[in-house]
């Protein structure tokens, strides 16, 4: 289950609608298992105010959940992306708290839970994804205690001092604790969640295990898994909450990077940019969590101070459109485009652009060509659950060249230690890291890239989903989840 289905609707010239797989790695990782297990994907079809009938896509049954235009505004744009998103990303932007948005979030979560409850076979495994659906685990457990329920949070889980702002902080914790296994990107996220559970619910935790007291008057209490007696003699069910860092289909990126046509396209990109000595690249959804403004500020100052020469260095910034009806995103777009315009106005020459700014999404092939063309990849997120762009860049560099500058506030920095790690708030430090990346000798670049590639190629998305599902399946067989820690 995920807010968005893994397919996008495309309407051809004759007005005929068809479904095309969306480019994400999640579906690639889950497709084999979904096919083998006769799985159903429950999600929103991406258009408001329309009922879409269940259908098949690439061997997976798709069960669309409808959202009205008002629910799109209140549940998706409102509570998911203007309350939870800024709150969970350390309040980089101010979250809005509106009771009607919360009511809509509850209603839509209930609709998702009902859809899954109606589709799941007895004892089935249900895997719920992301912050839009945090109430689903408990809602599902209530009506279908036979199910094995997993939840994975793709974005950060904030420290308690921030999380506690949320007026519905207890309800969300109760919603999540309906799962048997709760996965987070980073060890720190799992720790923040356990702390919130202790502070708000007073439940005990032992390492990654959370003890949720069972209401013994509840006739269903006997059907819970992992029922055990805690040290005070109370009946509890145990929930596993730990880190499962997500990854990408690394092999698919490598395969594309080895294609001669894509390597040729990478050369063409360099040429189109006037063959600068160095190409720096940023690739992000146009989101305020990504630190695009900080990156531009650092780059602009380096040009201003003559530490970089516009004839020699170009920054390519791909900013794919995102959540364009949410006001904070509109403001961000204006700010970024003003900054890009200023930098180009001040420093570009007729023959050399300072910032090549592209407000589009591109197919994977073009992204791989861009990664291959880029000498330096800039990932300067202020807060990011994982940041898969960092992993895509590494997987693409089959030539073992290229330098990754990576924010320590992105989950990827836990694994990708051989990147140039930066604090994006420290503009001087960021500038120094950019210069260090540009000047890095080939020997050092290769040494770092080799180590990074080993990490990404070993820990790919198939391994991620297999390890999460293994923890869940063990949970189905009643294994004590402590062994998974
Ligand atoms: O992981 C963050 C996330 O919100 C995903 O749930 C989603 O697939 C992606 O970012 C893009 O966001 P949206 O679905 O709001 O366009």
Report the atom number in ligand 1 closest to the C-alpha of 81: 15
Phi, psi of 304, deg, nearest 5: -60, -45
Last residue of a domain, one of 203, 227, 243: 243
pLDDT of residue 308: 98
> How many domains is the chain built from?
2
Taking the CA of residue 285 as reference, the ligand 1 atom at the shortest distance is: 11
Residue 105: domain span: 7-243
Cα distance between the two ends of the chain: 25
Q: Are residues 297 and 222 in the same domain?
A: no
- On whether residue 127 sits in a domain, the answer given is yes
Residue ending a domain, among 196, 227, 243, is: 243
In terms of Cα–Cα distance, which of 150, 207, 390 is closest to 290?
A: 390
> What average pLDDT does this structure show over 164-175?
98
Residue 225: pLDDT band (50, 70, 90) is low
Residue 477 token pair: 């067989």
411 or 31: which leads in pLDDT: 411
Spatial CB neighbours of 157, under 8 Å, sequence gap ≥ 6: 88, 163, 184, 189, 190, 192, 193, 196
Q: How many CA atoms lie within 13 A of 220 on its CB side?
A: 10
Pick the last residue of a domain from 221, 243, 265.
243
* Closest atom of ligand 1 to CA, residue 3: 6
Which of 3, 75, 290 has most ligand 1 atoms within 8 Å of its beta carbon, as the pocket-test mutant?
Answer: 3
Check pocket membership of 322 for ligand 1, CB cut-off 6 A: yes
Is there a domain that residue 321 lies in?
A: yes
> Helices then strands (H, E): number in the chain?
17, 18
Q: Are the C-beta atoms of 277 and 308 separated by less than 8 Å?
A: no
Query: Is there an atom of ligand 1 within 6 Å of 265 CB?
Result: no
Is the same domain home to 285 and 210? Answer: no
* 82 and 157 housed in the same domain: yes
Q: Are 473 and 197 in contact (CB under 8 A)?
A: no
55-74 average pLDDT score = 94
Residue nearest to atom 14 of ligand 1 (CA): 4
| 114 & 155 share domain | yes
Is the pLDDT at 485 greater than 50? The verdict is no
Query: Residue 56: which CATH number?
Result: 3.40.50.2000
Does residue 369 have its Cβ closer than 6 Å to ligand 1? Answer: no
3-state secondary structure (DSSP) of residue 92: coil
Assign 25 a pLDDT band (cuts: 50, 70, 90): low
Look at residue 485 and tell me if it is in a domain. Answer: no
Pocket test for ligand 1, best of 1, 4, 329 (most atoms within 8 A of CB): 4
Tokens of 419: 């990147």
Asked if 284 and 201 sit in the same domain, the reply is no
| Judgement on whether residues 119 and 159 belong to the same structural domain of the protein | yes
pLDDT of residue 224: 65
Contact 11, 84 (CB under 8 A): no
Residue 463 lies in a domain: no
Ligand 1 mean position, distance from CA 80 (Å): 10
**Residue 171, pLDDT score:** 98
Same domain, 208 and 323: no
Query: With contact defined as beta carbons under 8 Å apart, do 196 and 397 qualify?
Result: no
- Considering the domain architecture, whether residues 191 and 283 belong to the same structural domain is answered as no
Where residue 136 falls (left for φ over 0; alpha for ψ -120 to 50; beta otherwise) is: alpha
Do residues 296 and 386 both lie within one domain? yes
Q: Which residue has the tokens 């940019």?
A: 273
355 strand-pairing partners: 315
Quick one: pLDDT at residue 251?
A: 95
Asked if the model's pLDDT at residue 430 lies above 70, the reply is yes
Mean pLDDT of 95-118: 98
* Same domain as 262, residue 236: no
H helices of 81-186, in order, are: 85-88, 99-119, 136-143, 160-163, 169-176
- Assigned token pair, 118: 């109606």
Tokens of 478: 């009643």
Its pTM stands at 0.95
Q: Which atom of ligand 1 lies closest to the CA of 85?
A: 4
13 half-sphere exposure, CB direction, 13 A CA radius:
0
- 481 domain residue, yes or no: no
Q: For residue 102, what are the contacts with CB-CB under 8 A and spacing of at least 6?
A: 79, 83, 167, 168
Closest CA to 337 of 284, 293, 283: 293
The answer to whether residue 466 is domain-embedded is: no
**DSSP summary character for residue 158:** -
pLDDT of 481 over the 60 cut = no
Rounded distance between C-alpha atoms, residue 45 and residue 62, angstroms: 9
The pLDDT tens digits for 274-320 are 999 999 999 999 999 999 999 999 999 999 999 999 999 999 999 99
Q: What is the DSSP letter of 345?
A: H
In short, whether 384's Cβ falls inside 6 Å of ligand 1 is: no
| Percent of the chain surpassing pLDDT 70 | 96
Residues near 395 by beta carbon (within 8 Å), at least 6 away in sequence:
248, 250, 253, 254, 257, 453, 456, 457
On whether residue 73 sits in a domain, the answer given is yes
Predicted ipTM of the assembly: 0.92
Gap between the Cα atoms of 386 and 388, Å rounded: 6
| Residue 484, pLDDT above cutoff 60 | no
Residue 323 Cβ inside 6 Å of ligand 1? The answer reads yes
Asked if the structure places residue 477 within a domain, the reply is no
Residues 43 and 181 in one domain: yes
Which of 154, 185, 321, 411 should be mutated for ligand 1, with most atoms under 8 A from CB? 154
Burial (0-12, 13-18, 19+ Cβ within 10 Å), 287 = buried
**Mean pLDDT for all residues in the chain:** 94
Considering the domain architecture, whether residues 100 and 211 belong to the same structural domain is answered as yes
Lowest-confidence range among 29-33, 321-325, 423-427? 29-33
């Amino acid at each position: 289950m995920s807010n968005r289905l893994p397919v996008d609707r495309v309407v051809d010239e004759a007005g005929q609608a068809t479904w095309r797989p969306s480019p994400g790695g999640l579906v690639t990782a889950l497709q084999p298992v979904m096919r083998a297990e006769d799985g159903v994907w429950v999600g929103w079809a991406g258009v408001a105010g329309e009922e879409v009938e269940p259908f098949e896509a690439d061997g997976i049954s798709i069960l669309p959940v409808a959202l009205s235009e008002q629910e799109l505004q209140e549940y998706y744009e409102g509570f998911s992306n203007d309350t939870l998103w800024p709150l969970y990303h350390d309040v980089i932007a101010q979250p809005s708290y509106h009771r009607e948005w919360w009511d809509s979030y509850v209603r839509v979560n209930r609709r998702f839970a009902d859809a899954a409850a109606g589709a799941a076979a007895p004892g089935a495994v249900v895997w719920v994804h992301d912050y839009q659906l945090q109430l689903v685990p408990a809602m599902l457990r209530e009506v279908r205690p036979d199910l094995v329920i997993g939840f994975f949070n793709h974005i950060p889980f904030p420290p308690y001092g921030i999380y506690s702002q949320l007026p519905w902080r207890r309800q969300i914790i109760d919603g999540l604790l309906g799962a048997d296994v709760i996965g987070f990107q980073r060890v720190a996220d799992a720790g923040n969640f356990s702390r919130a559970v202790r502070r708000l619910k007073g439940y005990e935790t032992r390492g990654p295990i959370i003890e949720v007291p069972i209401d013994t008057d509840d006739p269903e209490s006997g059907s819970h898994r992992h029922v055990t007696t805690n040290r005070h003699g109370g009946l509890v069910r145990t929930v596993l909450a730990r880190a499962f860092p997500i990854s990408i289909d690394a092999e698919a990126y490598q395969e594309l990077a080895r294609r001669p046509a894509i390597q040729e396209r990478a050369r063409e990109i360099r040429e189109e940019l006037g063959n600068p000595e160095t190409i720096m690249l940023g690739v992000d959804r146009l989101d305020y969590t990504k630190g695009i403004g900080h990156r531009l500020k650092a780059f602009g100052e380096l040009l201003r101070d003559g530490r970089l020469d516009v004839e020699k260095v170009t920054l390519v910034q791909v900013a794919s459109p995102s959540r364009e009806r949410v006001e904070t995103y509109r403001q961000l777009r204006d700010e970024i485009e003003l900054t890009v315009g200023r930098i180009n106005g001040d420093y570009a020459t007729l023959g050399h652009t300072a910032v090549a700014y592209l407000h589009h999404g591109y197919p994977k092939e073009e992204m791989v060509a861009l990664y291959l063309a880029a000498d330096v990849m800039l990932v300067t997120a202020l807060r990011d659950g994982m940041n898969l762009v960092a992993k895509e860049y590494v997987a693409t560099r089959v030539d073992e060249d290229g330098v990754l500058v990576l924010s320590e506030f992105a989950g990827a920095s836990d694994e990708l230690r051989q990147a140039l790690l930066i604090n994006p708030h420290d503009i001087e430090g960021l500038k120094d890291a950019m210069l260090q990346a540009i000047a890095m000798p080939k020997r050092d670049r290769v040494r770092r890239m080799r180590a990074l590639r080993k990490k990404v190629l070993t820990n790919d998305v198939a391994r991620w989903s297999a390890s999460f599902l293994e923890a869940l399946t063990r949970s189905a067989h009643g294994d004590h989840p402590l062994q998974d820690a």
